[in-house]
Amino acid sequence: MRKDIRNFLICGFILVVVAIFPFFANNFIIRFATDILMFAIMASAWNIIGGYTGYASFGNVVFFGIGAYITAILMEKAGLNFAVAFLGAGLGSALFAILIGLPVLRLRGHYFAIATLGVAEAMKALVQNLEITEGNSGIYLPVLNLSVKAQYYFFFYMMLGTLVLTLLITYLMLNAKFGYSLIAIREDEDAANSVGINTTYAKTMAFALSGLFTGFAGSIYAFQQAFIKPGPAFTVHTTVKMIVMAVFGGMGKLFGPLLGAFSIEIISEILSNYFLVAHTLFFGIVVILAIVFTPKGIIDLITQRKFGIAYFLQNIREHRI
Amino acid sequence: MILQIFINGILKGGLYALMAIGMSLIWGVMDIINIAHGSFIMLGAFTTYWLFTLFGIDPFLSLLASMTVLFILGYAVQRYLINFVIRASAFITLILAFGIEIFINNLALVMWTADVRKVKVPYGAANFSIGNYITIPTIRLIAFILVIIISIAFFYILNKTNLGRSIRATSQDLDAARLVGVDVARTYSVTFGLGVGAAGAAGTLWAILFPISPMMGGVLTLKSFVVVIIGGLGSMLGPLIGGLTLGVTEALGSNWFGSTYENLISFTILVLVLIIRPKGILGGTD
């Protein structure tokens, strides 16, 4: 109990620090922090279906793209304000997750991964060809009518609020029966089924939650960019980034993806400052080394408080042939 | 007209099949989804390109060279990298392969720039006609025949040699294979080498037929997925059937709906096949 209170106070303190941080930073830093928050939302949302439920979705970017496009269409074509479009984007993505989840969540392992990848790619191709999405030329959104500084604040706090909501819902979920049924599904789905867990319902709801928050992130992104195209909105690299962040930080842990998003973004930024052309090359090396030496994520490294070479060697010994 | 489209589809489908043979082998034996597969195809293509451009070696002759180079590379990657995490969840190897993909693609980008290049052989435009309506480009036909020969060679290695027997034993039961004296680490390395070697061969043929660039790999990985899924794992016939199906469907589809719909068609087929027949059309063992 005392430990709970201590953790709660630490989280509150960090949140306050992050919340007042924009007042001491320039626009570039605020924008960079907003990007980190966006990826933290998406990696945490991925964690719900990939980390806790054990269904490695390789198509979560589809919710991001759908969220962005619903926002663009509602604001530009239907003339609605951002608040409505934001909610519509989240709910639309969640609904899509339910529709696509019902058939696709019947698949397991690699087959699920590839099916979701296929859904995302098919959706991209569809958006490229539809009339309402204006194909490859993309859609312009109305620009937020605020001063430049206020715009930076707006998007920063939108992302921060959404991230806090995502983590809060995940936390509540973990302490409810629903969270336990997800973990039971990850450990052994047939056993979970036979003890009376409605696995179809639980899996689909987890997928819908994942879609909801990713859709929110896509909605804010679209409004921030004020212009979206199918290519960047549905790129498979966004999915991969979510997954790498979640795994790098520690999947199936509440704060793992957040930690992963933070460190991966900082590492990429530092690398791109030092190596103009080759920084993605070094990013590849970072991913390879992280997977070989810390397959459980850096959050494991921190909570176990083992920093020595023995920890890395033990990880290798566990998984090598 | 429809027959011509059909033949074009089959000729391209053969290449898709060759791309998928390596991926299917690696996936079936070691449960690794090799996301870097397209990047290895790209390396095979560039091996052929440089041998042709620098030394004037005929691209069809460089087939052996690119297969050998890629086999050695694949063997080393498995032996000194993937074997270290092979017993972690399949998901970990997936991300490792993704890291390898980023590394290879960007190394190629730094070394060779993003230019689109083409192997220009003097006999590139040669073709012959059957009847009045059908024209077959000669190099595509030769490439198709090579695909068949390489597939048969793979079939032979897997089914008739000791190496093939140890590969199949390892894929069926790792511990039992180890008990009867199979060097599992080496078998895995050779398997990965073979799969990547097939990717190298596909790369050579791709370089002969189409323009190449360091970033070509991503789409090819996705297409290899589609083919493996359509054909199903666990048999050598799967990739062939999957490849031909994809080639013909794409050719017919872009004729009817326009080529912008090509990707929509492939990925819709992918999702539908997965939902209706998760084990592939042939329904091989998982």
Q: What is the pLDDT of residues B149-195, one digit of tens each?
A: 998 998 899 889 999 999 989 888 888 998 998 999 999 999 999 99
Q: Which residue of B has its CA nearest to A56?
A: B91
Name the residue range of residue A182's domain. 2-253
- At residue B286 the predicted structure's pLDDT band, cuts being 50, 70 and 90, is very low
List chain A residues with CB under 8 Å of B31. 110
What are the sequence ranges of the domains in chain B?
2-215
The ipTM, to two decimals, is: 0.84
Query: Do A122 and B226 lie within an 8 Å CB cutoff?
Result: no
CATH number at residue A98: 1.10.3470
pLDDT for residue B283? 56
A295 part of contact set with chain B, CB < 8 Å: yes
A272 part of contact set with chain B, CB < 8 Å: no
Structural domain includes residue A278:
no
pLDDT for residue A220? 96
Structural domain includes residue A75:
yes
pLDDT for residue B285? 45
List chain B residues with CB under 8 Å of A111. 229, 274, 278
Question: Between the CA of residue A320 and those of A201, B84, B87, B96, B234, what are the distances in Å?
Answer: 37, 4, 6, 14, 25
Min Cα–Cα distance to chain B from A232, Å = 15
Question: Between the CA of residue A120 and those of A101, A207, B248, what are the distances in Å?
Answer: 13, 14, 23
List chain A residues with CB under 8 Å of B85. 291-292, 295, 316, 319-320
How large a percentage of chain B has pLDDT more than 90?
A: 44
Chain B from 266 to 285: CB within 8 A of any A CB: 267-268, 270-271, 274-275, 278
pLDDT for residue A304? 78
Q: Per residue in A108-134, is it b (16+ CB within 10 Å) or e — as a string?
A: ebbbbbbbbbbbbbbbbbbbbbeeebb
Chain A from 116 to 145: CB within 8 A of any B CB: 117-119, 121-122, 124-126, 128-129
pLDDT for residue B257? 80
A105 part of contact set with chain B, CB < 8 Å: no
| Mean pLDDT for the stretch of residues B64-87 | 94
Rounded CA gap, A169 and A175, in Å?
A: 10
Structural domain includes residue A302:
no
Rounded CA gap, B260 and B251, in Å?
A: 12
Question: Can you list the residues of chain A whose pLDDT is less than 70?
Answer: 1, 307
- Is 80 exceeded by the pLDDT of residue B262? no
Structural domain includes residue A287:
no
Q: Which residue of B has its CA nearest to A245?
A: B95
Chain position carrying tokens 């299917």: B24
Structural domain count of chain A: 1
pLDDT for residue B213? 93
pLDDT for residue A215? 97
Min Cα–Cα distance to chain B from A293, Å = 9
A233 part of contact set with chain B, CB < 8 Å: no
pLDDT for residue A7? 84
Structural domain includes residue A313:
no
Cβ contacts from A onto B, under 8 A: 133
Question: Between the CA of residue B77 and those of A288, B104, B174, B183, B265, what are the distances in Å?
Answer: 12, 12, 20, 17, 34
Q: What is the mean pLDDT of chain B?
A: 88
